[in-house]
Amino acid sequence: MSDLETRLAAVEQRIANACNAAGRPRDQVRMLAVSKTRPAELIRALAASGLTAFGENHVDEALAKQPALVDLPLEWHFIGPLQSNKSRSVAGHFDWIHSVDRIKLVRRLADQRPADLNPLNVLIQVNIDAEPQKAGCTPGGIDALAAAVAERDRLRLRGLMAIPDGTASAEATRASFARMRELFNALKRDHPGCDTLSMGMSADLEIAIAEGSTLVRVGTALFGPRDPVAGANAR
Ligand SMILES: *Cc1c(COP(=O)(O)O)cnc(C)c1O
């Protein structure tokens, strides 16, 4: 097995074990391969192993890689903070966005989503630990954003995303994921079509799955450490 296949098998095993420990069926949790800073050839290699969903956090980097992969039936997720002036590229070249956190972005993405594509799948990002430097709305801001997304035909509201404070203890991280689960359950009462809670990364996917994640976003555990130089772009 290649290193990539070995790491993929290890991550699959971690997800399966976490589902098992939580008493959840394995098919309730999808894996998003976070391919930021990785070349198109590595994405192709993972696709050959059966992964279909890939996440990128910089628009220009993603648009540079996508043309080399158009022959593959990939699902592209935009997971980074999005400046309004780049919304058209996301609307035109992605299937999902995880980082909608303001009404202006909702309006632009809806207006810019090309008519020949399926509606853009939208997750609302919540800044669950109220970190000043982090993107995301407040918990109190979810309802208005969800309503704005739901009323647009070119957008499809799917759920919530969060990135808890990476420096916090495992207990604090678990508490943040648990609050996300409550917010997601509340959202589903108003928007029953919502089916996606995007939380958990390489370091904390077990905790996220225990607290109800349906989509874990995995970068380093799959691809290995990110190059710190190429990765100035990366974090
Ligand atoms: C980079 C990134 C990830 C993946 O992080 P790893 O620790 O490499 O698994 C997940 N989500 C977002 C939003 C990211 O930017």
Structure confidence by residue, pLDDT tens digits, 17-47:
999 999 999 999 999 999 999 999 999 999 9
Number of residues that this document lists for the chain: 235
Atom of ligand 1 nearest to the CA of 202: 9
Locus of tokens 């997304």 = 149
Structure confidence by residue, pLDDT tens digits, 82-125:
999 999 999 999 999 999 999 999 999 999 999 999 999 999 99
Cα(191)–Cα(189) distance, integer angstroms: 6
| Mean pLDDT value of segment 193-207 | 98
DSSP state letter for 84: G
Residue 56 CA to ligand 1 centre (angstroms): 9
Residue 80 CA to ligand 1 centre (angstroms): 9
Phi, psi of 142 (to 5 degrees): -65, -45
| Mean pLDDT value of segment 231-235 | 44
CB under 6 Å to ligand 1: residues?
34, 36, 57, 79-80, 163, 201-203, 217-221
Total Cβ atoms within 10 A of residue 187: 20
Decide if 159 contacts 195 (C-beta within 8 A). yes
Nearest CA to ligand 1 atom 10: 217
Cα(165)–Cα(55) distance, integer angstroms: 20
DSSP state letter for 117: S
Q: Is 50 exceeded by the pLDDT of residue 234?
A: no
Atom of ligand 1 nearest to the CA of 223: 8
Decide if 100 contacts 113 (C-beta within 8 A). no
Nearest CA to ligand 1 atom 11: 217
Cα(30)–Cα(206) distance, integer angstroms: 13
Atom of ligand 1 nearest to the CA of 98: 13
| Mean pLDDT value of segment 196-222 | 98
Phi, psi of 185 (to 5 degrees): -60, -40
Atom of ligand 1 nearest to the CA of 203: 7
> What mean pLDDT is reported for the chain?
96
DSSP helix/strand/coil, 24: coil
User: Which H or E element spans position 92?
Assistant: helix 87-93
